[in-house]
């Protein structure tokens, strides 16, 4: 993106701006040298050449503007062009009325000076009016009629003697003439300011040539307030400046128009083409930036990426991201500013532009920080900021930060750049908010997970081994759980369960079931009592609590007598027996589905040293190409059992299931609990 400090190449001509201006300067110098030599020979000839050149350029400007009126999309050129018809007519009459030509016998230099002032009226009025019609289509017949009428009125007033005297032979200029010249000077200065304000609508060459022309016209007018002799040096200098001004207008509106019509006649079309190219580039860049920040859920990393990518895209010299902290704004990330700026708390004056952007929910633009305004002059001086664009980052009307692009020099921001900034702000705010929500949920999940991790107490008379792997997800928070705890001096309780669902919701149900099971077991440890109580608790919470599969049992650590209750859960496997117990009449539905359901239990006698394995369905559901690990996989691993410890048993089963998937992640939680009865 070309900004104001980068010379642009005019489309079509291929001539750089500096070279174009240099050619104009060389042309003026050469013409000035020739004309000065002519003035030494004959001032009237010199004057005639100057005025005829000015009149011919005025006619050329008129013809170019009038015959291209159907294509003009910038009425500035058209209005100045049609006005110059009157300037050309009056200029020719001024040349013919000049002392020494004898075209109008019996007249003095007053007539020529009056005609000069009339031409200045018309030209100055054109430059004053034209800026108000920039980038507008105007039917040039109306301004042509208006300026022609003004020309006719002025000529009628002059030739009928109604125009005030402006030059008295032997005395010099009248007060009226000098006063009017100063009014013209002020009007030209105003026209200059108006032109600068609409400079973005002009090709840069045309704009600079017009500015130089108006400036030289001001110089000429000042010179024409000083002479007492029409052939004196002040008049000579004024005519040189006047010729230069006419030449520059010709260069701006005729020569450049013929050399590069897009620069003058079709400026808006050219601007639209450039805008389209810029819009496409910024759109593609925005897509890349959004893709880049979407690849992370770290809010700080998002800000660090955006501040670099966006600043590079929009052509900023530096950038910074600030975030609210209590009642202040703190710099969180920077690009091409000193790193020690990060963490700086901005004062109310330094952050006034941020507060204003956030309050308005709109991008804030400061095109020139040297002009007093909302931006801190001290901050601009400290960090060489000549212009800035601040983008508020808000989500649901809540400010979460602000992104500021800094330019070392004043910069004119185009609407396309502002649109890019708005879209970028929305995308960044959403990405940061999503990252913060993830970080919050992740923190909650980690906290819950820490509370749910097995912390089995040592129970005399049994050895316990386990393996647990949560399925992929937020905080790796699973719904499988298990527990082993002592009820009294001779009995231990154990359980393994699976809560429907994943994440925080499943974790809260897990915590509820584990806590409630322990509480019920301490009162009455019988499996039927515990399962019935848990079922009623979950059923009363409703379907939002989900359902739970659970294997719960008690073990007499002296006798080896075990009693089991199975609520929709896979049955346990006794590792040291060829024939498994009959669990059929003890297998009941999962907890939480049927409030009135009565649960059952089954008794099993363990021998000293006997082991048994319990697991969740994530183990047997582990798949490879759609084929589950299944109970057959469990049996295969246990068939290779060579008196493995309970830790080795649980680990071997989990590893075998993982190997069965071919290295893919298991999609459900996997929990394995192994217990060995050693007795007391």
Torsional class of 407: left (φ above 0), alpha (ψ -120 to 50), beta (otherwise)? beta
How many other C-beta atoms can be found within 10 angstroms of the C-beta atom of residue 200?
14
Helix axes 204-223, 109-129, angle to 10 degrees: 150
Over the stretch 575-611, which tens digit does the pLDDT of each residue have? 988 888 988 888 899 998 888 889 999 999 999 999 9
Lowest mean pLDDT among 176-180, 257-261, 405-409: 257-261
The answer to whether the CB of 19 falls within 8 A of the CB of 7 is no
Torsional class of 590: left (φ above 0), alpha (ψ -120 to 50), beta (otherwise)? beta
Average pLDDT value for the chain: 80
Q: Where in the chain is the domain with CATH 1.20.1070?
A: 18-272
- Cβ-proximal residues to 319 (8 Å cutoff; 6+ apart), any chain: 307, 308, 310, 311, 334, 335, 336, 337, 403, 404, 405, 406
Tokens of 542: 């409703």
Going from the C-alpha of 220 to that of each of 120, 191, 224, 369, 426, the distances in angstroms are 11, 16, 6, 34, 54
Confidence label for 189 from pLDDT (cuts 50, 70 and 90) = very high
CATH topology of domain 456-677: Phosphatase 2c; domain 1 (3.60.40)
Higher-pLDDT residue of 458 and 546 is 458
- For the ranges 465-469, 527-531, 653-657, the one whose mean pLDDT is highest: 527-531
Confidence label for 359 from pLDDT (cuts 50, 70 and 90) = confident
**Which class does domain 18-272 fall in?**
mainly alpha
Over the stretch 316-349, which tens digit does the pLDDT of each residue have? 888 888 888 878 888 888 888 888 888 888 888 8
pLDDT of residue 1: 37
Confidence label for 207 from pLDDT (cuts 50, 70 and 90) = confident
Confidence label for 54 from pLDDT (cuts 50, 70 and 90) = confident
CATH code for the part of the protein at 285-444: 3.30.450.40
Q: Where in the chain is the domain with CATH 3.60.40.10?
A: 456-677
Give the H/E segment covering residue 533: helix 527-541
Tokens of 106: 């019996």
């Amino acid at each position: 993106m070309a900004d104001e400090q980068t010379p642009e190449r005019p489309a079509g001509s291929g001539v750089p701006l500096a070279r174009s201006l240099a050619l104009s300067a060389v042309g003026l110098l050469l013409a000035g040298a020739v004309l000065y030599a002519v003035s030494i020979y004959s001032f009237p000839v010199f004057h005639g050449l100057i005025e005829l050149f000015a009149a011919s350029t005025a006619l050329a400007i008129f013809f170019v503007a009038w015959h291209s009126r159907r294509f003009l999309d910038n009425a500035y050129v058209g209005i100045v062009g049609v006005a110059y018809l009157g300037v050309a007519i009056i200029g020719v009459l001024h040349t013919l009325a000049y002392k020494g030509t004898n075209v109008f016998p019996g007249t003095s230099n007053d007539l020529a000076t009056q005609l000069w002032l009339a031409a200045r009226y018309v030209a100055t009025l054109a430059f004053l009016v034209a800026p108000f019609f920039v980038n507008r289509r105007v039917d040039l017949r109306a301004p042509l009629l208006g300026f022609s009428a003004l020309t006719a009125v002025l000529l009628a007033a002059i030739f009928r003697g109604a125009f005030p005297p402006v030059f008295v032979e032997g005395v010099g200029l009248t007060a009226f003439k000098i006063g009017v010249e100063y009014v013209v000077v002020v009007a030209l200065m105003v026209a200059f300011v108006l032109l600068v304000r609409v400079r973005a609508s002009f090709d840069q060459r045309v704009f600079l040539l017009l500015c130089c022309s108006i400036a030289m016209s001001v110089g000429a007018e000042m010179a024409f307030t000083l002479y007492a002799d029409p052939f004196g040096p002040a008049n000579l200098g004024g005519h040189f400046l006047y010729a230069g001004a006419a030449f520059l207008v010709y260069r701006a509106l005729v020569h450049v128009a013929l050399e590069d019509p897009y620069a003058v006649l079709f400026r808006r079309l050219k601007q639209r083409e450039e805008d389209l190219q810029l819009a496409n580039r910024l759109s593609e860049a925005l897509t890349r930036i959004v893709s880049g920040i979407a690849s992370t859920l770290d809010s700080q990393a998002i800000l660090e990426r955006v501040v670099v990518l966006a600043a590079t895209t929009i052509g900023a010299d530096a950038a910074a991201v600030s975030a609210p902290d209590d009642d202040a704004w703190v710099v969180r990330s920077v690009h091409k500013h000193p790193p020690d700026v990060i963490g700086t708390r901005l004062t109310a004056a330094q952050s006034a532009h941020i507060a204003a952007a956030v309050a308005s929910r709109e991008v804030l633009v400061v095109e020139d920080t040297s002009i007093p305004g909302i931006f801190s002059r001290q901050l601009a001086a400290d960090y060489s900021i000549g212009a800035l664009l601040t983008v508020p980052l808000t989500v649901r009307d809540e400010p979460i930060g602000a992104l500021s692009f800094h330019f070392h020099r004043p910069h004119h921001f185009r609407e396309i750049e502002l649109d890019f900034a708005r879209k970028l702000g929305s995308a960044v705010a959403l990405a940061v908010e999503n990252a913060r929500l993830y970080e919050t949920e992740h923190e909650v999940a980690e906290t819950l997970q820490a509370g749910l991790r097995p912390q089995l107490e040592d129970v005399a008379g049994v050895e316990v081994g386990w393996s647990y792997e949560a399925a992929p997800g937020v905080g790796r928070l699973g719904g499988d759980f298990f527990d082993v705890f002592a009820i009294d001096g001779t009995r231990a309780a154990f359980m393994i369960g699976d809560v429907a669902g994943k994440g925080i919701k499943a974790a809260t149900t897990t915590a509820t079931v584990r806590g409630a099971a322990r509480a019920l077991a301490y009162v009455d440890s019988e499996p039927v009592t515990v399962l019935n109580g848990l079922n009623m608790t979950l059923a009363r919470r409703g379907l939002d609590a989900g359902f739970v599969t659970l294997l719960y049992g008690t073990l007499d650590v002296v006798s080896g007598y075990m009693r089991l209750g199975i609520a929709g859960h896979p049955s346990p496997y006794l590792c040291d027996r060829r024939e498994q117990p009959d669990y059929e009449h003890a297998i009941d539905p999962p907890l939480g589905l049927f409030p009135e359901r009565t649960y059952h239990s089954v008794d099993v006698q363990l021998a000293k040293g006997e082991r048994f394995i319990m697991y969740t369905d994530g183990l047997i559901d582990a798949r490879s190409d759609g084929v589950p690990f299944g109970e057959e996989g469990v049996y295969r691993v246990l068939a290779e059992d060579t008196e493995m410890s309970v830790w080795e048993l649980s680990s071997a089963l989990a590893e075998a299931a993982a190997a069965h998937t071919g290295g893919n992640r298991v999609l459900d939680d996997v929990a394995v609990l192994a217990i060995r009865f050693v007795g007391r």
